[in-house]
């Protein structure tokens, strides 16, 4: 059975690009999706006693609860704080980079081409290796 990657992004096109890229790298991975941080936290809390994701791919700019707030919540919960989080965003703002560095999460600027997205997915899935 494949491992789970949680993709948190309010843009359905971006969710589909990430799903497609992960599937192209390794079709055994299963994807879970949330459209904002609040949905992601609920999913993660509901998964503590079953199967937590091996990786969270998170956008910064989302309604309801943005990526920064989501990271802060994840880091408060002992069962979740060890899950690797990668911020996958169009933002290139220095304050976003600084926040990610302070929180110990990688920040990746969304690539423009499908080929680059597939290459990025391959790198990101290394977080799931035992």
Of the candidate ranges 21-25, 56-60, 74-78, 115-119, the one whose mean pLDDT is the lowest: 115-119
pLDDT tens track for 7-66: 999 999 888 888 998 898 889 999 999 999 999 999 999 988 888 999 999 998 888 888
Give yes or no for a contact between 29 and 2, defined as CB atoms under 8 angstroms apart. Answer: yes
Number of domains in the chain: 1
Among 95, 122, 115, 116, which Cα is nearest to 107's? 95
Specify the CATH number for the domain of residue 70. Answer: 3.40.50.2300
| 122 pLDDT more than 60 | yes
Q: Alpha-carbon Rg of the chain, whole angstroms?
A: 13
The reply to whether 86 falls in a domain is yes
Residue 128 falls within a domain, yes or no? no
84 within a domain of the structure (yes/no): yes
Phi and psi torsions of 51, nearest 5°: -140, 110
Segments in the chain forming alpha helices (H)? 12-25, 37-47, 67-76, 94-103, 114-124
The structure tokens listed for 51 are 């199967």
Do the domain assignments include residue 31?
A: yes
What rounded mean pLDDT belongs to the chain?
87
Q: Rounded to the nearest 5°, which phi and psi values hold at 30? A: -105, 145
For residue 99, what are its two tokens? 């926040």
Identify whether 130 is part of a domain.
no
* 129 lies in some domain: no
Q: What is the pLDDT of residue 49?
A: 85
Q: Are 40 and 66 in contact (CB under 8 A)?
A: no
Residue 112 in domain: yes
Question: Which residue segment(s) compose the domain that 71 sits in?
Answer: 4-123
């Amino acid at each position: 059975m494949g491992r789970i990657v949680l993709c948190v992004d309010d843009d359905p096109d971006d969710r589909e690009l990430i799903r497609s890229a992960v599937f192209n790298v390794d079709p055994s991975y299963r994807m879970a999706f949330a459209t904002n941080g609040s949905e992601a936290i609920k999913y993660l809390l509901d998964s503590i006693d079953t199967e937590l994701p091996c990786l969270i791919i998170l956008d910064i700019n989302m309604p309801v609860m943005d990526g920064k707030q989501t990271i802060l919540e994840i880091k408060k919960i002992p069962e979740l704080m060890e899950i690797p989080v990668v911020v996958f965003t169009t933002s290139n703002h220095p304050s976003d980079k600084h926040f990610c560095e302070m929180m110990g999460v990688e920040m990746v600027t969304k690539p423009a081409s499908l080929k680059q997205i597939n290459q990025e997915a391959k790198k990101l899935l290394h977080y799931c290796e035992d």
